[in-house]
Amino acid sequence: MKITNSEYNEMLKASSPKTKLHKTLPKAFFVGGLICVAGEAFLHLYMRYGAGKETAAALTSITLIGLAAILTGFKVYDKLAKHAGAGTIVPITGFANAVVAPALEFKTEGFILGVGAKMFVIAGPVIVYGIAASVLYGLIYYIMGTVMG
């Protein structure tokens, strides 16, 4: 029996398990939503204790990042993420996890070439293209501002 590549890929597609969207979507929605609710709660808490809206927002981000980093260190975050998927990756906490996880993993290769170099192996591209996009956005904003007066 000679199988062509397309036949083989058909067979593969037919027999491979598929993502169960009816299970994964609600879980991601629920957990991601809860993280946002926690963020809202922190925001209100900080504002109640006298922080301005901008300061409170910054403090909220810092708190969520800190919590996610600590939970990653305790090996809790990845267990939660196993169920939550995008619900834990998309919020700012996912970004914290993506930096802390490789930092932990590569500690065995030393602090310079291990932790230091490998820490951004996942988050690096997001930072690079995020900054590049913001530069581009800034340029457009500046030019539009000059032209429109």
Tell the smallest beta-carbon distance from residue 138 to another protein (Å).
31
Piece of the chain touching another protein by CB under 8 A; list 17-25, 40-48, 52-60, 140-148? 17-25
User: Given candidates 62, 82, 128, 142, which one binds another protein under the rule CB under 8 A?
Assistant: 82
- Under the criterion CB under 8 A, does residue 88 sit at the interface with another protein? yes
Instruction: Compare residues 43 and 101 and give the one whose CB is closer to another protein.
Output: 101
Tell the smallest beta-carbon distance from residue 47 to another protein (Å).
29
Q: Token digits for 136?
A: 């581009």
Closest among 102, 128, 97 to 117, alpha carbons compared:
102
For residue 24, with 0-12 CB atoms within 10 Å meaning exposed, 13-18 middle and 19 or more buried, which class applies?
A: middle
3-state secondary structure of 73: helix
Where are the extended beta strands (E) located within 3-142?
none
State how far the Cα of 6 lies from the Cα of 46, in Å rounded to an integer: 58
Q: Token digits for 47?
A: 């504002």
- Under the criterion CB under 8 A, does residue 127 sit at the interface with another protein? no
| Cα end-to-end distance, the chain, whole Å | 72
Instruction: Compare residues 47 and 85 and give the one whose CB is closer to another protein.
Output: 85
- Under the criterion CB under 8 A, does residue 1 sit at the interface with another protein? yes
In the complex, the residues that contact another protein under the rule CB under 8 A are 1, 3, 5-6, 8-9, 12, 16-20, 24, 72, 75, 77-78, 80-82, 84-85, 88-89, 94, 97-98, 100-102, 104-106, 108, 122
